[in-house]
Structure 1
Amino acid sequence: MAPPAAPPAPLHRGPLLLPRRVGATARACRGSTSLVAVRAQPDTTTASTSAPDPPPEFKPPPGFKTPQPKRFEVKNGQQGSVLGASLAIPLRLGTGVFVLGYSPSLVSPAEIPSDQYALEFGGDGTVPIMLSLGLLTAITAGLATLGRIGKGNSYTASKVPPQPIEIWAYEGSPFCKLVRETLVELELPHLLHSCARGSPKRQEFFKKMGTFQAPYIEDPNTGVKMFESAEIIEYLKATYALYPSS
């Protein structure tokens, strides 16, 4: 009878690993390794450095020639404009045509009403009749604009020059009124030299130019100096209006 078989040898196993609690330090380490800092850095190699736009350059329109002054000549096609601008002369009885003598002085504004201040201390104190009629003064001033049908009331898109345009003009001249309308519509900065009849500025202008005719402008932005209202208007629109043909 055969001897009984020996029992199988037990399998060798490694030590049983029991779960254990992970320490806070280990968790912190694992957490710190999973954090990635992201920071934006400008790409200096491709960053564009655009220079500021240069200031606009102003120059007379191509083929421009300064016209010769011609006394009391109305350019063809301008008759209606001059007639409309002249409407103010009879309605305002020539207000602004002649100068009222003046001398410089300092005075407290409380010593004289504000509506008479300029006449009292800028002139000889005489109030022209068309400025002393109360409501009628405002009505006649409004009627004087009817001949121009709203000219000077609407803005025309333009390029603003860095220096003001100088203009020699006076209120009673319809030719001066047309040029000033254009300056206002284009919103062009301008310096007005008022030279009504009898004004010292009128005499100064005569000595400077050897003649007197208004309006006259000097544009320091382009170097243009010129007479003749119709040509001045064309020049201003061609030089400064964004849409000269409109």
Structure 2
Amino acid sequence: MISPERAVRYSRQIAFDTIGKLGQKKLSRAKVAIIGLGGLGSVAAMILARAGVGYLRMIDRDIVEPDNLQRQVLFDESDIGATKSFVSKKRLSAINSGIKIDAICDDLDEKTAKKLLSGVDIILDGTDNMEARMIINAFAVKNKIPYIYGASVRDKGMALAVLPGKTACLKCVFQRVSGLEMDCGRLGVIPTATGLIATIEANEALKIICGFGKTLAGKLFYADLLENRFDVLDVKRNSKCDVCGKKQ
């Protein structure tokens, strides 16, 4: 049962009959890990907290820097020098005290992936490098956890949903890691681009949790905001992929 207070809080979502009371219950029971709390992760976390996702695991090793404030919505000037994960927990707890939030300050690598990413229903990507994304992708595929990829630089961005065993994984799409880095520190990024991709990622999480709509499973969403160009490209699973191929 949804309490009267929660029914009022989420009334606009419940009124959207595609979600309804059943979808709201699913959200309240869902567990999502968000790794990377920058321009993508901070926006996605705020949306999911407001939507009532019952458990959020906030993972980031970094501290808040002055240049983060241009696009990372959970931080303000008073947070400079503080740990992103703990500031995020404080902000999101103030937004929604009815959900559980864990804050983790740690590095992601092949050794820590199990500790950081186990026990959740969805992994949402807010990282800024392909090496980390490939570690997440491999862990998600092996453990059959849906993984939502997102990336943004300059005025552009992309997103993809990976449903292990059913759709192409990130390695199918990007066979080689080298040369794929998109460095917003060097190339720049506008907050509308990160905000858009983070919203797409959060929306994918809502759809997967509630079981409605068409997801980006097997689809790569691409946005070019300067040209007002938006594409959804089909991506096929590679049977020879060393992460999700038939021999795995």
TM-score (norm 2): 0.24
TM-score (norm 1): 0.24
Bigger CA radius of gyration: 1
- Kindly indicate which of the two structures has a greater share of residues assigned to helix: 2
RCO higher in structure (CA 8 A, sep ≥6): 1
